[in-house]
């Protein structure tokens, strides 16, 4: 398994971060622009990665305010697991997003860069969305 990680600190309490991430409907906001045909429920999402593959993911487990584990709900092009680990630190949250992918040598060469970019993109978007929400609430 090849591991891709992205860490970030979000200036929000852990329960706010957990509440957002525990609903797959919110994950569309974290995705890059090359994701199309998004359909989701609280527990599952399916979408197309432009010029690559169709993916269907589901939340396999939730540990309140600590972890959300996401796995494929249909057979993907390669085995895959996404995990959000949350650690409360005073009034903010340390977030570790991990993508574990079982890639053969050829897929490692093709997919490693895009998967690391995806991990970084999702954590940056999470921070932007939750910070923007907080800023808007303070202005109102």
Render pLDDT for 69-103 as a digit per residue (tens, 0 to 9). 999 998 887 889 999 999 999 989 999 999 999 99
For residue 62, what are the domain limits? 2-139
User: What's the structural domain count of the chain?
Assistant: 1
Measured CA distances, 139 to 12, 93, 135 (Å): 16, 22, 6
Share of the chain above pLDDT 70, in %: 93
What is the distance between the alpha carbons of residues 94 and 88, in angstroms, rounded to a whole number?
6
What is the reported pLDDT for 50?
76
The CATH number for 59's domain is: 3.30.530.20
Q: What's the whole-model pTM score?
A: 0.90
């Amino acid at each position: 398994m090849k591991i891709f990680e992205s860490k970030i600190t979000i200036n929000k309490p852990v329960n706010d971060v957990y509440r957002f991430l525990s609903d797959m409907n919110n994950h569309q906001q974290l995705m890059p622009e090359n994701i199309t045909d998004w359909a989701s429920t609280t527990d599952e999402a399916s979408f197309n990665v432009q010029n690559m593959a169709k993916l269907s993911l589901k939340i396999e487990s939730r540990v309140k305010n600590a972890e959300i584990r996401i796995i494929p709900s249909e057979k993907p092009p390669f085995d895959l697991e996404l995990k959000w680990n949350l650690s409360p630190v005073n009034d903010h949250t340390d977030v570790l997003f991990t993508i574990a992918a079982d890639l053969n040598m050829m897929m490692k060469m093709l997919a490693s860069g895009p998967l690391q970019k995806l991990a970084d993109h999702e954590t940056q978007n999470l921070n932007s969305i939750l910070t923007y929400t907080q800023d808007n609430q303070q202005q109102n």
